[in-house]
Structure 1
Amino acid sequence: MTSFTQPYDPSLYNEDLAPVSPEKKTWSWVNFTTVWMGMVHNIVSYETAASLLGLGMSVSQAIFTVVVANAILILAMCLNSVAGAKYGLPFPVLARAAFGHRGAQIPVFFRAFVAIFWFSIQAYAGSEALSTVLGALIPGWNQLGAHHVIGMGLNMLIAVLAFWLLHAWIVSHGIERVRHFELWAGPLVIVLGLGLVGWALSVAHGFGPAFSEPSRLHGAKFWSVFGLTVTGLIGSWSTLVLNIPDFTRFARSQKDQVVGQAVGLPGTAILFSFMSIVITSGTLIAFGKAVIDPVQLIGHFHSPVVQVLGCLALVVATLSVNVAANLVSPAYDLVNMFPKRLNFVRAGLIAIVVGFLFAPWAWYDNAGVIFSVLNAIGGGLGPVAGIMMADFYLVRKRQYEVDAFYTADGGFRYRAGWNPKALVSLGAGLLASFIGLLAPSLSELYNYSWFLGLFVGGLCYAMLMTLGEDPVRHEDDWLVGDIE
């Protein structure tokens, strides 16, 4: 256990929030690579890359777009991951440096909400794939759908409960269970994907017509679509930019986490995108149309063995991305809110239950609307990332006093636990992010909301913190009392 020069406040500290001790920093670059494999290799990533062709891009333009987006994304990830690896601290604790002990609960709460909502969506999608597997293996399984319980067929209810329990089993043994699961799940998905690539090359007798299809986007039109798609690709991972310290805190060294992420994120994302484009080109030959939905693609095969193996791959892929991207973060976020009562395992199980209470089966058919809402919320987290980066690199010069994170009267008290300058910067960043919605004449700016929020929020924070008096501690606090 970490020792402190000052008594730590039990409302700010427990073992899951404490700095990771050296003997527990066991994650090598291989672990980070496989974690990113597990997160990148999913249905949404597959469809996104394949759909670039549908927008009119050539294969080379699509690959170029994916490369640029992932280059920007890995830069943001690495910038926000250094503090976690250096001090062994998770995102909810690091957020206290900029926002204060109380103020940090604002970004932590919204980050947890978004993650649990995404968990609910992904888990239900995985449940459908699991139900397909069970339908191929169990006679009469599909007939159970005639009996409805809480708004869905009995077969789907069983599949949902089973899939939710799979998540609980993985989380029940803590972050180490997550690490071991991702170690084999990520590579397994890409191996199965390579099998589909082999099928595509076989039926297409080469790389298929998509690789010779000319671009329908030229000049300014291409660059306009390019900007929108790059922003969209980055925005889909904007929440991970925030909580990447939840993983890098376990890194053996900065080199391990940087190399692992550099290989695992852009490397596997580009490979996976290339694979999806090859497979899509094969569907043009085999079925006479581009099939970008992997679930539909598996449905075109009439072999029960292929359907079972394919849907099992989707189940593993969904489990992999859901555990790493949508359970680890809210688990730490909930622990941060209730450190006296929760640990990682309990918080993870609570997140799973809350995700079930969102009842995704009732609104999944309107997923397009839900995704739009979630993307808007995720884009709104851009200013938080900008503020945290500005605090670490520009204001603190990459130096934190660890004791201050866990003491109510420490250096991050500000005004009774709130940093007004961070809140003002957050407001400015959010205004920049959503100015395109507020002013119709600036509607195109909304397509770049993550970038605008990141830069405006970070720049505003750096300027406010370096100008005027230090707000760390004032006798005339506008809120009084210790953190409850």
Structure 2
Amino acid sequence: METVSSRVNHPDPSLYNEDLAPVPKEKRTWDWINYSTIWMGMVHNIVSYELAASLLGMGMNVWQALSAVILSNIVLIAAIWLNSTAGTKYGLPFPVLIRASFGYHGAHFPVMIRAFVGIFWFAAQAYAGSKAVGAIISVIYPGWDSLGRIAFLGMGLQDWISFGVFWLLHAWVISHGMERVRHFEMWAGPLVIVLGFGLVGWAIRAAGGVGPLFSIQGTLSGGSFWNSFFLSVTGLIGVLATLVLNIPDLTRYSRSQKDQVVGQAIGLPVMMTVFAFMSIMITAGTIIAFGKPITNPVDILLQFHHPVVILLGAISLLVATLSVNIVANVVSPAYDLVNLLPKKLNFVKAGMLSIVIGLFFAPWLWYDNSSTIYTILGAIGGTLGPVAGIMITDYYWVRRRHYDISSLFSKQGDFSYVRGWNPHAYIAMAVGVVAALIGLFVPALSVVYTYNWFVGILVGGLVYTLLMRGELTKSVPTAREKVDTI
């Protein structure tokens, strides 16, 4: 088992509290099943469904859409595995580990960018999930939609009530900390698979067999197809780009490296591909049944006009979306805010603050604009990619897979740099972001934007390694320097 002592010598109070400290051995209880179900919960949700389904709406056929999903998952799991190892080894969250490359003060900026993105996605997922709440209430109260006549701040009263109920469900799960999150994920993740199989069965019946679902012709070819294909891959990566950074927030609880590697392999590439395959087949069924692609699963359920189907399906979607939102978009910003104010915040308080801030993103004003969503996804990938590249290269090449834990909680340790800032990391991040996003502003380089996440992570990591090449001459710690394993 690759874990090290959780003892921190003389930590600085401004950099340390119990939520940021290394997780002790007795609390590292998450096994491969936990990680499998957590990832099931994160990938089986309304937003993931819509993004996979929208590939058909863009003009791809079933096989082209599925290929985009598979490629994005292969890239994601590789990056996530690379950034998971340090979290498992040291029991530390992302906001602490990133101090190694950016410095104890310099880490605040990328941490807050990641928190901003996480809270943004919380708002988007909360709005998407609230539609399932509305579908459930509409079965119980037939006059539900009539409340839409009362509207304010861009949303009808029935939508405000749905959004409020879903928001309170998040608060209930968060209020009891990470253990409630773990237990919730154990049954929430697999639930939506049952709904997915049911809708796939409907799609096959509606199409008159499996063959017609795969015979739907795409409208893209040549250069337009490849541009759309790689832009879609980048967008799909952008959905989980925050997880590449903050995966240590979860793997710090792992019993071993093997548990997190095996569990994540099952939960992300395997289950995401299965879920996307379901999404694409169901959407193909809607094209045949209704003459147009319906990408929102709640809208599909409403087409059945059957109370039991709507009720059970909407409950499954609600639980699935709540699941991903807690793990991916509340846990991570919570640790980020604790890192910013360790003396005043703990995990629960920071989690509550995150979901309050999320209300101000007003997702109901922009969520249904697909072009806006993909532009945002691309910008997210381009911004976070360089940070991921810097973290990965720092751990594997600059630090040779060894961090001095006490220095991560000290202002005089290995990671103090220049008054707590590492200029090399900021230069590498700036170069990586410019390289990733330049295609947005220079038409002649628009093709670069198609690959912006790949460009960002590679350029950011390479520039950082070159700037820190002096650190590469440091020897691997001797046996005397290594801390005892537990």
Q: 1:109 to 1:137 in 2, by over 3 A?
A: same
**Which of 71, 74, 86 is the aligned partner of 1:71?**
74
Q: Deviations over 1:84-121 (max 9, x none)?
A: 01111100000000000000001001110111111112
> 2:135, 2:298 within 8 Å by CA — same for their partners in 1?
no
Q: Secondary structure at the match of 1:381?
A: helix
Counterpart residue identity of residue 397, structure 1:
R
Counterpart residue identity of residue 182, structure 1:
E
Q: Residue in 2 aligned with 1:286? A: 289
Counterpart residue identity of residue 399, structure 1:
H
What are structure 2's unaligned runs of at least 5 residues?
475-486
> 1:114, 1:374 within 8 Å by CA — same for their partners in 2?
no
The worse-fitting range, judged by mean Cα deviation, of 333-342 and 377-386 is 377-386
Q: Residue in 2 aligned with 1:156? A: 159
Q: Secondary structure at the match of 1:11?
A: helix
Q: Measure the CA separation in 2 of the matches of 1:269 and 1:133.
A: 26
Determine if the alignment matches structure 1 residue 187 to structure 2 residue 168: no
Q: Secondary structure at the match of 1:466?
A: coil
Determine if the alignment matches structure 1 residue 423 to structure 2 residue 447: no
Determine if the alignment matches structure 1 residue 58 to structure 2 residue 61: yes
> 1:207, 1:281 within 8 Å by CA — same for their partners in 2?
no
Q: Secondary structure at the match of 2:467?
A: helix
Q: Measure the CA separation in 2 of the matches of 1:401 and 1:259.
A: 27
Determine if the alignment matches structure 1 residue 3 to structure 2 residue 14: no
**Which of 437, 440, 455 is the aligned partner of 2:440?**
437
**Which of 224, 235, 248 is the aligned partner of 1:245?**
248
Q: Deviations over 1:306-337 (max 9, x none)?
A: 12222222211221111111101100000000
The worse-fitting range, judged by mean Cα deviation, of 207-216 and 154-163 is 207-216
Determine if the alignment matches structure 1 residue 202 to structure 2 residue 193: no
> 1:79, 1:389 within 8 Å by CA — same for their partners in 2?
yes
> 1:208, 1:282 within 8 Å by CA — same for their partners in 2?
no
> 2:366, 2:372 within 8 Å by CA — same for their partners in 1?
no
How far apart are 1:67 and its partner, in Å?
1.6
Q: 1:229 to 1:358 in 2, by over 3 A?
A: closer
Q: Residue in 2 aligned with 1:114? A: 117
Determine if the alignment matches structure 1 residue 345 to structure 2 residue 348: yes
Matched residues, number: 470
Q: Residue in 2 aligned with 1:474? A: none
Q: Secondary structure at the match of 1:407?
A: coil
How far apart are 1:366 and its partner, in Å?
5.2
Q: 1:116 to 1:195 in 2, by over 3 A?
A: same
Report the TM-score, using the length of structure 2 for normalisation.
0.91
Q: Secondary structure at the match of 2:54?
A: helix
Q: Deviations over 1:414-457 (max 9, x none)?
A: 11100111111111111111221342211111111111111111
**Which of 278, 294, 313 is the aligned partner of 2:316?**
313
Identity of aligned pairs, percent? 59
Q: Residue in 2 aligned with 1:478? A: none
Q: Residue in 2 aligned with 1:95? A: 98
Q: 1:144 to 1:291 in 2, by over 3 A?
A: closer
> 1:120, 1:360 within 8 Å by CA — same for their partners in 2?
yes
> 1:383, 1:429 within 8 Å by CA — same for their partners in 2?
yes
**Which of 357, 362, 368 is the aligned partner of 2:360?**
357
Report the TM-score, using the length of structure 1 for normalisation.
0.92
Q: Measure the CA separation in 1 of the matches of 2:278 and 2:472.
A: 55
> 2:115, 2:336 within 8 Å by CA — same for their partners in 1?
yes
Q: Residue in 2 aligned with 1:298? A: 301
**Which of 462, 468, 477 is the aligned partner of 1:465?**
468
How far apart are 1:141 and its partner, in Å?
3.1
Q: Residue in 1 aligned with 2:484? A: none
The worse-fitting range, judged by mean Cα deviation, of 424-433 and 281-290 is 281-290
Q: Measure the CA separation in 2 of the matches of 1:468 and 1:285.
A: 60
Q: Residue in 1 aligned with 2:236? A: 233
> 1:32, 1:261 within 8 Å by CA — same for their partners in 2?
yes
Q: Residue in 1 aligned with 2:150? A: 147
The worse-fitting range, judged by mean Cα deviation, of 297-306 and 124-133 is 124-133
How far apart are 1:45 and its partner, in Å?
1.9
How far apart are 1:127 and its partner, in Å?
1.6
Q: 1:430 to 1:281 in 2, by over 3 A?
A: closer
Q: Measure the CA separation in 1 of the matches of 2:58 and 2:363.
A: 29
**Which of 386, 390, 412 is the aligned partner of 1:387?**
390
Q: Deviations over 1:265-287 (max 9, x none)?
A: 00001101111122223223332
Counterpart residue identity of residue 164, structure 1:
W
Q: Residue in 2 aligned with 1:273? A: 276
Q: Secondary structure at the match of 1:263?
A: helix
Q: Measure the CA separation in 1 of the matches of 2:50 and 2:318.
A: 16
Q: Residue in 2 aligned with 1:27? A: 30
Q: 1:200 to 1:76 in 2, by over 3 A?
A: same
Q: Measure the CA separation in 1 of the matches of 2:165 and 2:224.
A: 47
Counterpart residue identity of residue 197, structure 1:
V
> 1:98, 1:419 within 8 Å by CA — same for their partners in 2?
yes
> 1:49, 1:62 within 8 Å by CA — same for their partners in 2?
yes
> 1:208, 1:281 within 8 Å by CA — same for their partners in 2?
no
How far apart are 1:297 and its partner, in Å?
1.1
Q: 1:225 to 1:162 in 2, by over 3 A?
A: closer
Q: Residue in 2 aligned with 1:175? A: 178
> 2:49, 2:276 within 8 Å by CA — same for their partners in 1?
yes
Q: Secondary structure at the match of 2:294?
A: coil
**Which of 130, 136, 151 is the aligned partner of 1:133?**
136
Q: 1:289 to 1:152 in 2, by over 3 A?
A: closer
How far apart are 1:301 and its partner, in Å?
0.8
